Chains A and B, each alone.
Chain A
């Protein structure tokens, strides 16, 4: 099978039981995506599939032959950090770093959802523009757990980037 990940084509022949997360981590050496629970409960495995954030532990690799997949490795590199990544560093939006790739992929997807006007549980109205208040950011990011509890710093980092985008 062929997979398109971060714009690069990969050949792989995964077991039909292999999750997208295990394809990345165990078959392709893309270990940036993390496994915290393997059950869709923590968000550490968040990647973007065709621009939308998903828990890669909850989907099978064989379902994604024709998709554009973006992982943390495709967002930036240590020598060339994406703005959101450097904002995480500046605001200390992590400690152990294990939830961090998921937080960053999730925030990337989330910023796009907000830009498209998708409402959340705390949005005042179901249509119209979304102003990303801290409350909106917290609500929209709550699928990404961080046991180090860097949450306020993560919100600071996302707010800074959301502000620049607006």
Chain B
């Protein structure tokens, strides 16, 4: 086995030897009672005496300039304390640590509709909003690049998150193949649309800035804030114990945070700003629209010889992030000749960025449908086709895989779903007015290893405190870290306290890229390992010969309470997890298989997803309940992306026509069927010390494609232009 030749991480013996039986268990979230009672306070809900309210002013043209702004009426409106406009410090939208913050001043070009240009600060939210409406702006609009033509790329494979892949002689391999598939897919703009809009309460204590802000990272965010405000990062404290969802949209720092910080400095009061729902669509990033060409060439038996996944996406000027459309495709299927990369068209659009499962969410909508079509053309079952093309090592460079239970996921999923009862002939199963179909797709999400730190204190009373600046954006961090520490130190769950969501705590990578739980758990496990060594020394044994259980150290026929070993003194350890030599020497990803059954109305083309099954390999399962919920949420995102979600930009004005929940439809209760989820657990020693791989984005990868394939099986109709709405189906529905 290839992976045995690689140096693995130091085995975390505290987890391997643990017997507390807390880790992995489906334990209720420890922050549950706070959340179900409204006790949990989110950024905008923190108390602050004499706080003022800000309302952000946004530009109402998509390109052109502003001739003048008249804020006289706003400044004298009741309750107004300050109007900040035409100010270099105010960024046009969210700020991050890799793009230069862009501000806007009179006379400069407007880059996109809805960019921020000022803020009205008043004694109440109502007064600020009313005064904002009094600001008169004289625009000189021009026609911008609102409707970029993705068939005409301008920048060829610019450097981005994921390098292009070119191996073998693709053209020769493709042209000479027995079977060739070549098709184009398009996916629209998707909004992260976290239920809590971007919101911040900012206050200054002398030259120290304190931000209660809805962000996916705390310590990490201080860097971007420092740059935007031109102050030192160590002067900034970001606090975010509860965050109402992120989905990538809160990886950058919301414009409102910078505006609130500046307004608080100017007015000498705490300032609260929340983006309106419609503002979030413009001021925070969205998933880029894509045009994807998929080419698959096989021999007569269906062995892939060439795989092409070449995309074009839209991004605004001067933004570094490029949607990594082929990130999942890179290592998913066999094929020595590969051509994969992303070209770019620049547009007068708000910024595009990383939204839940960047690359895979849109990429699988194309390649997993292409695989289905190719399998059918080859006369193969889609699972058999994938099985024949399951690579033993990276098809790009031969690097070994970490744990990869993808074939097991297909098999177990097929068994649970009842795949063998499927009728592969499209449009052949009917129940009354409903056409019934089933489909499947693979799931893949690259696993990223990042640096993270956590401190653990074992108090003299035998309770433990774990501290890290991680966030819990719904991902279960509070609960999972408790479980890791309880397991490793042999403590009952109520003996472990978790302190997160504060930038003054040890630095983690925050939540994003699905690396949060595994990296912070690894840091916590390493710290526990240190503490276990200290305890073992006090027992006079090797850590490897000691068991920690129920608050006792057990070794050499002795069972000593921790309180006795600690003898009135706390033990403290710092854990520091980071990528190692082997990280780049292997390919790490989470895997899975989705199965879906749909009913399509033969009259209207309405699609109802009736049930889904998903089986996943996420390495070690840290909490069976929260992991399942993450996957569940991702799969329902998949349903939303294939059937509903479609961020539309008006080609004449450059504005989003549907930047709110009334018009941008996300999946609802009624769209969400019963979903069966199962994990094939295999601790991945190469991934990180915790042996866990990413889970938060995996469910969203491939789920939509499984539904699209089921729609084809139900109706015989292939739609390559997402989402698959009924208007696209209705004319092609089979006659009965």
A residues sitting closer than 8 Å to B (CB atoms) are 15, 17-18, 22, 25-26, 29-39, 41-42, 44, 71-73, 75-79, 81, 85-86, 88-90, 92, 94-101, 104, 134, 137-139, 141-142, 144-155
Interchain CA distance A136-B538 in the complex, whole Å: 61
Determine whether the beta carbon of B661 is less than 8 Å from that of A78: no
Among B317-353, those with CB < 8 Å from A are none
Selected A-B contacts with CB under 8 Å, 5 pairs: A22-B125, A26-B124, A34-B42, A81-B36, A151-B636
Interchain CA distance A101-B130 in the complex, whole Å: 29
Determine whether the beta carbon of A42 is less than 8 Å from that of B36: no
Closest Cβ of chain B: how far from A157's Cβ, in Å?
Answer: 9
Contacting residues, chain B, for A134 (C-beta < 8 A): 674
Determine whether the beta carbon of A97 is less than 8 Å from that of B661: no
Determine whether the beta carbon of B28 is less than 8 Å from that of A147: no
Contacting residues, chain A, for B195 (C-beta < 8 A): 34, 36, 42, 44, 96, 98-99, 145-148
Interchain CA distance A96-B195 in the complex, whole Å: 9
Determine whether the beta carbon of A94 is less than 8 Å from that of B669: no
Contacting residues, chain A, for B127 (C-beta < 8 A): 15
Among B586-616, those with CB < 8 Å from A are none
Most chain B CB neighbours (cut-off 10 Å) among A37, A81, A86, A148: A148
Determine whether the beta carbon of A92 is less than 8 Å from that of B29: yes
B666 within 8 A of A: yes
Determine whether the beta carbon of B626 is less than 8 Å from that of A17: no
Determine whether the beta carbon of A148 is less than 8 Å from that of B35: no
Among B10-36, those with CB < 8 Å from A are 28-29, 31-36
- Residue from B32, B37, B633 within 8 A of A149 (CB atoms): B633
Among B655-699, those with CB < 8 Å from A are 660-662, 666-670, 672-675
Determine whether the beta carbon of B629 is less than 8 Å from that of A150: yes
Closest Cβ of chain A: how far from B122's Cβ, in Å?
Answer: 11
Most chain B CB neighbours (cut-off 10 Å) among A90, A101, A147: A147
Contacting residues, chain B, for A29 (C-beta < 8 A): 47
Please choose the segment from B55-63, B86-94, B239-247, B420-428 that sits at the chain A interface, where 4 or more of its residues have CB less than 8 A away. Answer: B239-247
Determine whether the beta carbon of B637 is less than 8 Å from that of A149: yes
Determine whether the beta carbon of A137 is less than 8 Å from that of B37: no
Interchain CA distance A25-B669 in the complex, whole Å: 26
Contacting residues, chain B, for A75 (C-beta < 8 A): 37
Beyond A81-B36, A97-B35, is A147–B193 a contact (Cβ under 8 Å)?
yes
B475 within 8 A of A: yes
Q: Which residue of A lies closest to B628 (CB)?
A: A92
Contacting residues, chain B, for A17 (C-beta < 8 A): 126, 130
Q: Which residue of B lies closest to A75 (CB)?
A: B37
**How would you classify the secondary structure of chain A's contact residues: helix, strand, loop or mixed?**
loop
Contacting residues, chain B, for A26 (C-beta < 8 A): 124-125
Contacting residues, chain A, for B667 (C-beta < 8 A): 149, 151
Interchain CA distance A67-B470 in the complex, whole Å: 42
Interchain CA distance A63-B277 in the complex, whole Å: 25
Determine whether the beta carbon of B244 is less than 8 Å from that of A96: yes
Interchain CA distance A148-B246 in the complex, whole Å: 9
Determine whether the beta carbon of B277 is less than 8 Å from that of A153: no
Among B120-134, those with CB < 8 Å from A are 124-127, 130
- Residue from B28, B277, B669 within 8 A of A36 (CB atoms): B277
Beyond A25-B45, A145-B661, is A72–B37 a contact (Cβ under 8 Å)?
yes
A-B contacts besides A29-B47, A134-B674, 14 pairs, CB < 8 Å: A18-B126, A31-B41, A31-B42, A72-B37, A72-B38, A75-B37, A77-B37, A85-B37, A94-B35, A96-B244, A101-B36, A137-B669, A145-B661, A148-B474
Closest Cβ of chain B: how far from A109's Cβ, in Å?
Answer: 15
Contacting residues, chain B, for A38 (C-beta < 8 A): 276-277
- Residue from A41, A85, A139, A150 within 8 A of B660 (CB atoms): A41
Closest Cβ of chain B: how far from A58's Cβ, in Å?
Answer: 12
**How would you classify the secondary structure of chain B's contact residues: helix, strand, loop or mixed?**
loop
Determine whether the beta carbon of A139 is less than 8 Å from that of B670: yes
Contacting residues, chain A, for B33 (C-beta < 8 A): 78-79, 81, 85, 89
Interchain CA distance A76-B36 in the complex, whole Å: 9
Most chain B CB neighbours (cut-off 10 Å) among A15, A25, A34, A98: A98
Most chain B CB neighbours (cut-off 10 Å) among A88, A95, A150, A153: A95
Determine whether the beta carbon of B125 is less than 8 Å from that of A95: no
Q: Which residue of A lies closest to B675 (CB)?
A: A152
Q: Which residue of B lies closest to A88 (CB)?
A: B36
A-contact bits for B621-632, CB 8 A (1 contact / 0 none)? 000011011101
- Residue from A32, A89, A94, A138 within 8 A of B672 (CB atoms): A138
Interchain CA distance A17-B669 in the complex, whole Å: 32
Determine whether the beta carbon of B660 is less than 8 Å from that of A39: yes
Determine whether the beta carbon of A153 is less than 8 Å from that of B666: no
Determine whether the beta carbon of A154 is less than 8 Å from that of B245: no
Interchain CA distance A88-B32 in the complex, whole Å: 8
Interchain CA distance A33-B195 in the complex, whole Å: 13
Contacting residues, chain A, for B669 (C-beta < 8 A): 137-139, 141-142, 144, 151, 154-155
- Residue from B130, B247, B274, B473 within 8 A of A35 (CB atoms): B274
Q: Which residue of B lies closest to A141 (CB)?
A: B669
Interchain CA distance A44-B277 in the complex, whole Å: 13
Determine whether the beta carbon of B247 is less than 8 Å from that of A147: yes
Q: Which 5 A-B pairs have the closest CB atoms?
A: A32-B38, A98-B244, A95-B474, A96-B474, A97-B35
- Residue from B31, B38, B668 within 8 A of A31 (CB atoms): B38
Q: Which residue of B lies closest to A40 (CB)?
A: B662
Interchain CA distance A37-B196 in the complex, whole Å: 8
Determine whether the beta carbon of A36 is less than 8 Å from that of B38: no
Beyond A147-B245, A149-B672, is A96–B194 a contact (Cβ under 8 Å)?
yes
B73 within 8 A of A: no
B197 within 8 A of A: yes
A-contact bits for B497-512, CB 8 A (1 contact / 0 none)? 0000000000000000
A-contact bits for B126-165, CB 8 A (1 contact / 0 none)? 1100100000000000000000000000000000000000
Determine whether the beta carbon of B674 is less than 8 Å from that of A97: no
Beyond A26-B125, A32-B38, A38-B277, is A151–B672 a contact (Cβ under 8 Å)?
yes
Contacting residues, chain A, for B674 (C-beta < 8 A): 134, 152
B570 within 8 A of A: no
Contacting residues, chain A, for B637 (C-beta < 8 A): 149
Beyond A17-B130, A92-B29, A96-B473, is A34–B244 a contact (Cβ under 8 Å)?
yes
Most chain B CB neighbours (cut-off 10 Å) among A17, A36, A41, A77: A36
Determine whether the beta carbon of B34 is less than 8 Å from that of A150: no
- Residue from B28, B474, B632, B633 within 8 A of A89 (CB atoms): B28
Determine whether the beta carbon of A41 is less than 8 Å from that of B661: yes
- Residue from B31, B47, B245, B668 within 8 A of A148 (CB atoms): B245
Contacting residues, chain B, for A44 (C-beta < 8 A): 195
Closest Cβ of chain A: how far from B671's Cβ, in Å?
Answer: 8
Closest Cβ of chain A: how far from B612's Cβ, in Å?
Answer: 10
Contacting residues, chain B, for A152 (C-beta < 8 A): 632, 672-675
B39 within 8 A of A: yes
B40 within 8 A of A: yes
Most chain B CB neighbours (cut-off 10 Å) among A33, A35, A39, A72: A35
Closest Cβ of chain A: how far from B398's Cβ, in Å?
Answer: 38
Closest Cβ of chain B: how far from A158's Cβ, in Å?
Answer: 10
Determine whether the beta carbon of B28 is less than 8 Å from that of A92: yes
Contacting residues, chain A, for B673 (C-beta < 8 A): 152
